[in-house]
Amino acid sequence: AHQWQGVIREYADRLPAHVQQTIVTLGEGGTPLVAAPALSARTGADVWVKVEGMNPTGSFKDRGMTTAISAAAGRGAKAVVCASTGNTSASAAAYATRAGMTCAVLVPDGKIAMGKLSQAIAHGALLLQVDGNFDDCLVAARKLAEAYPVELVNSVNPDRIEGQKTAAFEIVDALGDAPDIHALPVGNAGNITAYRKGFVEYAESGAASKAPAMWGFQAAGAAPLVKGFPIDEPETIATAIRIGKPASWDQAIAARDESGGVIEAVTDEQILAAHRILSAEVGVFVEPASAAGVAGILARAEAGLVPAGSRIVVTVTGHGLKDPSWALRTPDGGDVVPTRVSADVVSIADVLGLE
């Protein structure tokens, strides 16, 4: 019987040798590419979602963490550090503990989802809540790694990009060719950089006939790449992408321009509406930031900017259980109140409208 071996072993021939000497894996990758008829109907395109919440720690970060931690282990590293809005810290904590390393994480105080905080603590990370936002955390983490014996595992580490590019390979392997368009949320811009690299490598080697247009979406209150300048105080309910100074700025712009793509903003309302459609109609529960790509293609479809019949893959980046409270809100901001019944079959049938 075959079991998925994790992205390093599955794509060994497309990854650098230095990540393969000491492999630290939790079986990441091999995530479902799910047809989304509800989104196809709304856009007139052929829409699929790449469900990255199905990775071991519930986000796409695991693809890059297996390579970053494996490379660090190969060099004999004892400790790693990252700045994070939550998912990177959860992933770094899990892979570091697996490798027997110490992991320090710097997170913005009070602005990270409960599920992610719990994961970092459960996996034994040294969690520091910083009086500042993600961008402040990243500056501090970079300086710490420069001055002390601790390796940085944010996506500015090229080993992260190598691992994350495997998601593009999986999409092409599943569909038989690259889609026309690939949509995704953009925060620190590591993932758009990684997908672009993966799609280009497959196209250049003949494994795909083309590379897709990259459509990146930022939250309106945290959209530096759309505005063209850094945002000092980014704000959005999509805390995973509450980032004002993306580290991979130039790479994101290059991915957009070289692929004939776009980077646009979606409002928190559009993100929450897309989040609801994903759960209630597609059957895929994601955290709010992960719905930004879907919000983006819906907005573009409404503006008549989605080519009819085009094939679109939208990457949904993190699991809904990371930040589940949003599901218990009504569209107008109220609380969902569960219906109470007595433990009696007739009253239950009555409430259900059964006769």
- What residue ranges bind ligand F0G (CB under 6 A)? 59, 61, 84-88, 155, 185-191, 240-241, 287, 289-290, 317-318
The angle at the Cα of 240, spanning 81 to 312, to the nearest 5 degrees, equals 120
Q: Which residue's CB is nearer to ligand F0G, number 53 or number 179?
A: 53
Across the chain, where does the E strand assignment appear?
33-35, 46-51, 79-83, 102-108, 126-130, 151-152, 181-185, 213-219, 262-266, 311-316
Q: How far, in Å, CA of 338 to CA of 242, rounded?
A: 31
The distance of closest approach from Cβ of residue 270 to ligand F0G in the complex, given in angstroms and rounded to an integer, is 16
Q: Which residue's CB is nearer to ligand F0G, number 46 or number 65?
A: 65
SS (H, E, C) 240-296: HHCCCCCCCHHHHHHHHHHHCCEEEEECHHHHHHHHHHHHHHHCCCECHHHHHHHHH
The distance of closest approach from Cβ of residue 134 to ligand F0G in the complex, given in angstroms and rounded to an integer, is 6
Residues 311 and 46: beta-carbon distance below 8 Å:
yes
Give the strand order in the sheet containing 126-130: 126-130, 102-108, 79-83, 151-152
Q: How far, in Å, CA of 130 to CA of 47, rounded?
A: 39
Q: Which residue's CB is nearer to ligand F0G, number 46 or number 56?
A: 56
The distance of closest approach from Cβ of residue 179 to ligand F0G in the complex, given in angstroms and rounded to an integer, is 19
The distance of closest approach from Cβ of residue 43 to ligand F0G in the complex, given in angstroms and rounded to an integer, is 21
Question: Residue 33, SS3?
Answer: strand
Q: Which residue's CB is nearer to ligand F0G, number 43 or number 85?
A: 85
The distance of closest approach from Cβ of residue 216 to ligand F0G in the complex, given in angstroms and rounded to an integer, is 8
Instruction: For 79, list phi and psi in degrees, rounded to 5.
Output: -150, 145
Q: Which residue's CB is nearer to ligand F0G, number 66 or number 87?
A: 87
β-strand pairing of 79-83 with 151-152: parallel
The distance of closest approach from Cβ of residue 155 to ligand F0G in the complex, given in angstroms and rounded to an integer, is 5
Q: Which residue's CB is nearer to ligand F0G, number 181 or number 243?
A: 243
Q: Annotated binding site, which residues?
A: 87, 187-191, 317
Q: Annotated binding site for pyridoxal 5'-phosphate, which residues?
A: 87, 187-191, 317
